[in-house]
C-alpha cells in the first residue's frame, strides 16, 4: 500500500494513490472519493456532526465513521477543520448556459445548481434548449421554469389584456407541454411586459397544469412597492389556490418599506396562506439594491403598445414630472446606478451633472425606457433582515455572469459572512438549510435525491472553512469571484479543487419527474 503524507494546512488530493487493502482476500469496489475528518452539515437544518463521506459513480454511498483500511479509494480529501455541505441551489438565477457553461460566478460561491427561466421569460422551444444546454456540458446543474411572458407570446396573446377562452386554453396547453418536458414550474414577471397585461383569471388558468403536474408558480409579483406588496402577494396566493400548487415569491422585498415590524406584516400574510392550504415561500438576495431594466421607472403609457417618440412629443412635461417624482420617491437620482455602457458605474445624479441637464431629461432623451439596466438602492436593512431569517425564506442571487451587480458573484458567500459570521442572525446550519434543503424541497429536487447529504443522493458537495468565506464582489467591482469554497463537487466531479477551478464539467440538465 502506498502511503501519503497529509498536509495539515489544508485539503489534499491524492490523485493516483489509493488505499488498497483487501478484506479477507475478496475483490473490493474502488470508490471515487473519500472525504475524511470534516463536520457534515447535511442541509436539513440539523446540527452538524463529525463523519466521513464516500462517493461512487456520482452518488453518496456511505456517510459515517468509516474504516479506511477496509476501503479502496481513488481520491482522498482531508476535510479536517472544515465543514462538508450540499452544494448550494440558486432558486432564481439568470444567464445563458450555452454561452458561459462554466458559470464560475455561481460555482465560485458554492452554487452547484441554478434555476433559470425566471420573471416570465424562458426559451421558446424548451426541448431544443435543453438539448443545446446538454451539448454545452455545463459545469453545474441547470433547471428551468417555463415563462408566462414567453407563453403569452407563443400563443399569440402578446400584449392583449383580454385573452379569449380559446387563448387561455392555448396558453394552458403550452404550460402543460413545458411541464411534460421537465420544467419545474411556471415563472411570472407581472411587473414587466407582457405579463403586466394579465389578469387573475388568466393566471389561474395557466396555474392549473402546473398544479396537476406537481410544479410551483415562481413569481416576480405585480408590484413590490410598500403600498402594493400585500395586494400583489394576495394575487399570487389566489393563483396558487386555483391551480392547486405551491407558490414562491421571487426576490422578496418591500420597496420604500422600513423596519422589522413592516416585515412581520408580510410574513403573517404568508403564514396565514399556508394555514389555509396554499404553501407559500420566498427567496431573497442579501443586498439592498435591486437590478433590472430602466423601464421600471417609466409609466406604462410610455411603453408598448404606446409609441415612445409620440409620448415624448405630446406629453413631455407630464412624463418629466412623473420620472422626477418616481425617482425621488425611490431615494433620489443618487440611488439609481446605471449598469449599461456607456454610462455603467455612474448614477443618475452624476449623469445629470456630466450632461448638464436635469436627471429626468437624461432619462427621456439619452436613455429611454429600453436603453439601460440599473441597480436601485430602495430597500431597508432591518426590514430585509427580518424577512431573511424566516424559516420559509430561501437564498437566491437573481444574478448572472454579466450583470453589473455583486449579487451574481457574492450572494451565497455574503450570507455566510453577514448573517452567520458577523451578525449571528443565523446559525451555519440554518443558513445552509436556506441554501440547500429548503430550495430542494420547494422545487421538488429532494424527490430527485438532491439538496441533502444522504446516502443515495447526488454528490453535489462543498468543503469549506466558514471563517474563510468572503464575498469579494462590490458595486464598484461586481465581477469578483468569492473566496473560501475550497472544494466544489458536482455529481461527483470536482470543479473547484483547493480553491482553484478545474476544467472539469460535472453539471446536468435537471428535469422534473
Q: Which sequence spans correspond to the domains of the chain? A: 119-249+252-286, 291-377
Q: Which SS3 state, helix, strand or coil, does residue 380 take?
A: coil
- pLDDT above 90: percentage of residues in the chain: 93
- The C-alpha cell at 485 is 469554497
The cell for 221 is 409579483
- Give the residues across from 411 on adjacent strands: none
In this prediction, residue 28 carries a pLDDT of: 74
- Sequence-separated (6 or more) residues with CB below 8 Å from residue 32: 55, 56, 57, 73, 74, 75, 492
CB 482 within 8 A of CB 108: yes
Q: Which residue has the cell 448550494?
A: 88
The mean pLDDT value for 98-125 works out to 98
Q: What are 485's strand-pairing partners?
A: 464
Query: pLDDT of 43-80, one tens digit each?
Result: 999 999 999 999 999 999 999 999 888 899 999 999 99
What backbone phi and psi angles, to 5 degrees, belong to 140? -120, 170
Q: What's the confidence (pLDDT) of residue 18?
A: 38
In the predicted structure, residue 337 carries a pLDDT above the cut 60? yes
Cell of 451: 439538496
pLDDT of residue 142: 98
Which residue's entry shows cell 453518496? Answer: 60
User: Average pLDDT of 273-293?
Assistant: 97
Q: How far apart are the C-alpha atoms of 8 and 1, rounded to whole Å? A: 21
Query: DSSP string spanning 210-261?
Result: HHHTT-EEEEE-S--BTTTHHHHHHHHHHHHHHHT--EEETT---BT--SHH
Helix H or strand E segment including 190: none
- Mean pLDDT confidence for 88-99: 98
Nearest Cα residue to 116 out of 504, 461, 399 = 399
pLDDT at 1: 31
Is residue 34's pLDDT more than 50?
Answer: yes
- d(CA 420, CA 433) in angstroms, rounded, equals 12
Using alpha carbons only, give the angle 412, 464, 83 rounded to the nearest 5 degrees: 105
Residue 15 banded pLDDT, cuts 50, 70, 90: very low
Superfamily of domain 119-249+252-286: Metal-dependent hydrolases (3.20.20.140)
Work out the pLDDT band at 7, boundaries 50, 70, 90.
very low
- pLDDT bin (cut points 50, 70, 90) of residue 23 is very low
In this prediction the pTM is 0.92
CA distance 473 to 336: 18
Q: CB of 318 within 8 A of CB of 270?
A: no
Beta bridge partners of 186: 146, 217
Q: What is the mean pLDDT of residues 358-362?
A: 97
pLDDT in tens, 461-487: 999 999 999 999 999 999 999 999 999
In contact, 189 and 222? CB cutoff 8 Å: no
Q: How far apart are alpha carbons 175 and 173 in whole angstroms?
A: 5
> What are the strands of the beta sheet with 289-293, ordered from one edge?
289-293, 373-377, 336-338
- Non-local (6+) Cβ contacts of 309 within 8 A are none
What stretches of 356-418 show up as alpha helix (H) in DSSP? Answer: 359-361, 381-388, 407-414
Backbone angles phi, psi at 337, to 5 degrees: -105, 110
CB 281 within 8 A of CB 360: no
Q: Are 107 and 496 in contact (CB under 8 A)?
A: yes
8-state DSSP, 57: T
Residue-level pLDDT at 278? 98
Residue 14 has pLDDT above 60, yes or no: no
460 vs 86: CA distance, rounded Å: 6
Q: Is 354 exposed, middle or buried (0-12, 13-18, 19+ CB in 10 A)?
A: exposed
Amino acid at each position: 500500500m502506498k502511503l501519503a503524507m497529509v498536509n495539515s494546512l489544508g485539503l489534499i488530493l491524492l490523485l493516483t494513490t489509493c488505499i488498497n487493502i483487501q478484506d479477507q482476500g475478496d475483490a473490493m469496489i474502488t470508490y471515487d472519493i473519500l472525504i475524511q475528518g470534516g463536520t457534515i452539515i447535511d442541509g436539513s437544518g440539523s446540527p452538524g456532526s463529525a463523519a466521513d463521506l464516500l462517493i461512487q459513480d456520482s452518488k453518496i454511498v456511505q456517510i459515517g465513521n468509516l474504516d479506511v483500511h477496509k476501503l479502496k479509494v481513488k481520491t482522498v480529501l482531508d476535510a479536517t477543520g472544515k465543514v462538508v455541505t450540499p452544494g448550494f441551489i440558486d432558486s432564481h438565477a439568470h444567464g445563458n448556459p450555452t454561452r458561459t457553461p462554466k458559470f464560475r460566478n455561481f460555482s465560485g460561491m458554492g452554487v452547484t445548481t441554478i434555476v433559470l427561466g425566471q420573471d416570465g421569460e424562458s426559451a421558446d422551444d424548451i426541448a431544443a434548449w435543453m438539448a443545446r444546454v446538454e451539448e454545452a456540458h455545463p459545469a453545474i446543474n441547470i433547471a428551468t421554469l417555463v415563462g408566462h411572458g414567453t407563453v403569452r407570446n407563443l400563443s399569440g396573446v402578446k400584449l392583449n389584456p383580454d385573452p379569449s377562452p380559446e387563448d387561455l386554453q392555448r396558453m394552458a396547453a403550452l404550460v402543460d407541454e413545458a411541464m411534460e418536458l421537465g420544467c419545474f414550474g411556471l415563472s411570472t414577471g407581472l411587473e414587466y411586459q407582457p405579463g403586466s397585461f394579465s389578469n387573475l383569471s388568466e393566471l389561474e388558468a395557466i396555474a392549473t397544469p402546473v398544479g396537476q403536474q406537481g410544479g410551483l408558480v415562481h413569481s416576480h409579483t405585480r408590484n413590490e412597492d410598500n403600498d402594493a406588496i400585500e395586494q400583489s402577494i394576495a394575487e399570487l396566493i389566489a393563483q396558487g389556490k386555483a391551480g392547486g400548487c405551491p407558490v414562491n415569491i421571487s426576490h422578496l422585498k418591500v420597496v420604500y418599506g422600513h423596519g422589522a415590524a413592516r416585515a412581520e406584516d408580510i410574513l403573517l400574510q404568508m403564514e396565514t396562506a399556508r394555514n389555509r392550504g396554499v404553501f407559500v415561500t420566498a427567496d431573497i438576495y442579501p443586498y439592498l439594491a435591486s437590478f433590472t431594466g430602466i423601464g421600471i421607472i417609466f409609466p406604462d403609457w410610455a411603453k408598448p403598445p404606446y409609441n415612445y417618440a409620440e409620448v415624448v412629443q405630446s406629453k413631455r412635461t407630464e412624463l418629466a414630472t412623473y420620472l422626477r417624482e418616481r425617482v425621488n420617491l425611490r431615494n433620489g437620482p443618487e440611488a439609481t446606478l446605471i449598469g449599461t455602457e456607456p454610462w455603467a458605474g455612474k448614477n443618475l445624479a452624476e449623469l445629470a451633472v456630466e450632461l448638464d441637464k436635469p436627471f429626468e431629461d437624461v432619462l427621456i432623451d439619452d436613455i429611454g425606457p429600453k436603453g439601460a439596466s440599473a441597480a436601485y438602492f430602495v430597500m431597508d436593512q432591518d426590514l430585509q433582515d427580518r424577512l431573511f431569517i424566516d424559516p420559509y425564506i430561501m437564498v437566491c442571487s437573481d444574478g448572472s455572469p454579466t450583470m453589473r451587480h455583486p449579487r451574481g458573484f457574492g450572494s451565497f458567500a455574503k450570507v455566510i459572512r453577514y448573517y452567520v459570521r458577523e451578525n449571528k442572525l443565523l446559525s451555519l446550519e440554518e443558513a445552509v438549510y436556506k441554501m440547500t434543503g429548503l430550495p430542494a424541497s420547494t422545487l421538488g429536487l429532494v424527490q430527485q435525491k438532491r439538496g441533502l447529504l444522504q446516502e443515495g443522493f447526488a454528490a453535489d458537495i462543498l468543503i469549506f472553512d466558514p471563517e474563510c468565506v468572503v464575498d469579494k464582489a462590490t458595486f464598484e467591482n461586481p465581477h469578483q469571484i468569492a473566496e473560501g469554497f475550497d472544494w466544489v463537487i458536482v455529481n461527483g466531479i470536482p470543479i473547484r479543487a483547493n480553491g482553484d477551478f478545474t476544467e472539469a464539467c460535472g453539471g446536468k440538465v435537471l428535469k422534473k419527474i
